[in-house]
Amino acid sequence: MKTGKRPESPHGAIPIDESILPLVEALNGMPGIDTVGSCGGDAEPISGGSWPLGSWYVKVRIEQNPVGWRTLEFLSWVINHDAHNGEDPSKVWLVPTSVPPYLNTPGEMLTFTIECHDDESDSAKDWSRWLTEVFADLYVPVDPVRRRIGLKGT
């Protein structure tokens, strides 16, 4: 499992907000997922990557292979549909994001952000526990599916 530090920057490793760390660790523990940014909310946001208190996000990059796409499919379902069963559907969403590919590396700029707005609870920690439980119970890895339908290479 990856550590609770963001990748090295010219200024050294940037610690991850304690309020969002359990969710970052849960996502990094999923196959085909790598977190690339997060914010647990700041009393005085000072930059574009800093969100106000009561809001949080975790940005992930998906491996472009069957394992990454399977995990993205699972996260899309569980966050955008299953989690909103009877709840306010405007609080937590999985959203695709990208910088302009033509100015960077086309085919490698797509990321996905799990974001929450207007939250007054400790929901990032609650989400990490819930997501870990649902993942353990309902995620279908690539290999068993390939075996079940008789494909080679499993």
What's the confidence (pLDDT) of residue 147? 53
Q: Model confidence at 85, in pLDDT bands (50, 70, 90)?
A: low
Higher-pLDDT residue of 131, 45: 131
Q: Give dist(CA 79, CA 98) in Å, integer.
A: 20
Beta-bridge mates of residue 39: 57
What's the confidence (pLDDT) of residue 5? 42
Beta-bridge mates of residue 114: 58, 94
pTM: 0.77
Question: Could you tell me if 15 and 5 are in contact, meaning their C-beta atoms sit under 8 angstroms apart?
Answer: yes
Which tens digits make up the pLDDT trace of 121-135? 668 888 889 899 999
Domain ranges (residues) in the chain: 21-148
Q: Model confidence at 36, in pLDDT bands (50, 70, 90)?
A: very high
Which tens digits make up the pLDDT trace of 88-117? 555 888 999 998 888 888 888 999 999 887
